[in-house]
Amino acid sequence: MTRWGVTVLDRLHLDGHERVLDAGCGSGRVTEHLCQRLPRGRVIALDLSSAMLVEARRRLASYANRVSFVRTSLAHPLPLAPVDAVFSTATFHWIRDHEALFSNLAAVLHPGGQLVAQCGGAGNIARVHAAARAAGVDLDPTHFATPAEMQQRLEAAGFIDVQCWLQPEPTTLAPGEPFETYLRTVCLRPHLEQLPEQDRQPFLREVMRQLGEPVIDYVRLNLHARRGAVR
Ligand SMILES: C[S@@+](CC[C@H](N)C(=O)[O-])C[C@H]1O[C@@H](n2cnc3c(N)ncnc32)[C@H](O)[C@@H]1O
């Protein structure tokens, strides 16, 4: 996922002095590459999770003079001075209210400023959802948007020159225990956390049995846009 993030970062046009928001920085793995692209600039590393920010702060210690950390939700108006660009990877699909999300991002982005992002898109981990369904659980796939849906949401928030496209990234994991750990800690974590302790392992095992091949059918949705003139 860090590799995907770095590829997305390559699409951000930077001279090196800009002020850039990393929206959903997580543990800062991709943010570190962003810091390297901004030797005279500034990074705002924002995340909802304090635990993630603790890790990001540790990872980015050598860039401390040009990184600030903000703990808040992207679903709320952002307490930030304007930025030249917004960058985000693997985060937007976690936020249900995209109308609020994009309006909050537009509000802190200078007119003409870039939004370059990637998140899960339509069809993402459909095999895992099908396996969970066969194991008796309906996971909600509706938050993985299509390019057309995302384009409409971005334009409604005042973005222009919008480009959205899907990128299939099927990923094969090591079978057995590593695959089980990955499913438990990444793909199925939100659902498992809601199950009674004694039901978790049987559900996980059944999903693995249904899946067979240790392949996660990731589909990424790329977003590229600019903030239009303030209306
Ligand atoms: C999979 S991680 C991605 C981290 C990093 N961007 C990367 O690509 O490695 C998703 C991050 O989104 C954050 N997140 C989820 N909902 C959020 C919200 N409403 N506001 C801000 N961050 C959020 C999570 O805390 C998590 O750190």
Q: What is the Cα–Cα distance from 36 to 32, expressed in whole angstroms?
A: 6
Let me know if residue 188 belongs to a domain.
no
Let me know if residue 38 belongs to a domain.
yes
C-beta of residue 221 within 8 angstroms of C-beta of residue 120: yes
Let me know if residue 198 belongs to a domain.
no
Q: How many domains, in total, are found in the chain?
A: 1
Let me know if residue 210 belongs to a domain.
no
DSSP element (H, E) containing 114: strand 109-120
Cβ-count burial 128-140 (b if 16+ within 10 Å, e if not) = bbbbbeebebebe
- Per-residue model confidence as pLDDT tens digits over 28-76: 999 999 999 999 999 999 999 999 999 999 999 999 999 999 999 999 9
- Tell me, in angstroms, the distance from the centre of ligand 1 to residue 75's CA: 12
Let me know if residue 13 belongs to a domain.
yes
Give me the helix-helix angle, 29-36 and 2-9, nearest 10°. 30
Let me know if residue 50 belongs to a domain.
yes
Let me know if residue 77 belongs to a domain.
yes
Let me know if residue 179 belongs to a domain.
no
Domain of 20: which CATH number? 3.40.50.150
- Residues lining ligand 1, Cβ inside 6 A: 1-2, 5, 24-26, 29-30, 47-49, 52, 73-75, 89-91, 94-95
- Tell me, in angstroms, the distance from the centre of ligand 1 to residue 24's CA: 4
- Per-residue model confidence as pLDDT tens digits over 177-219: 999 999 999 889 888 988 999 999 999 999 999 999 999 999 9
CB atoms within 10 A of CB 41: 18
Q: Which domain holds residue 27?
A: 2-122+140-170+217-227
- Tell me, in angstroms, the distance from the centre of ligand 1 to residue 193's CA: 18
Give residue 106's pLDDT.
Answer: 98
